[in-house]
Amino acid sequence: MPIRNKIVGLVISIGLLVVIIELVRRKKLREEYSKLWFLTGITILILIIWFDVLKWFTHIIGAISAISTIFFLAFLFLIFICLHFSVVISKLANQVKELSQQHALLKNELYKIKAP
């Protein structure tokens, strides 16, 4: 891998890790979601430092070039992110439904208490 590409990759991966730490520190990113992003940043860092791992993985999956392997991994990452957020959204939708039902019941009880 050319040195310029390594430098750009290192800057991007280290920058991603710094941004993640800063977002968690400022409470803009919850810790449970930061784990996935940390894993991503560390994976990028490993693939840049040990390019042979990327070549080996390219050979294992039967890809022609390392770039196609990177796009494949990026595609898998996006699928996992979508799946993860679908699970989180489903869980939150169920919580909203339960809270709405509890609110309606409490409002009905309050109405009965206030009614003469």
pLDDT above 90 for 116 = no
pLDDT band at 43 (very low <50, low <70, confident <90, very high): confident
Separation in Å, CA 72 to CA 45, 57, 61, 79, 94: 17, 11, 10, 11, 33
pLDDT digits (tens, 9 = 90+) for 23-39: 999 999 888 888 888 88
What pLDDT is attached to residue 94?
97
Q: Find the range with the poorest average confidence among 62-66, 91-95, 98-102.
A: 62-66
Residues in contact with 36: Cβ distance below 8 Å, sequence separation at least 6, in sequence order: 80, 81, 84
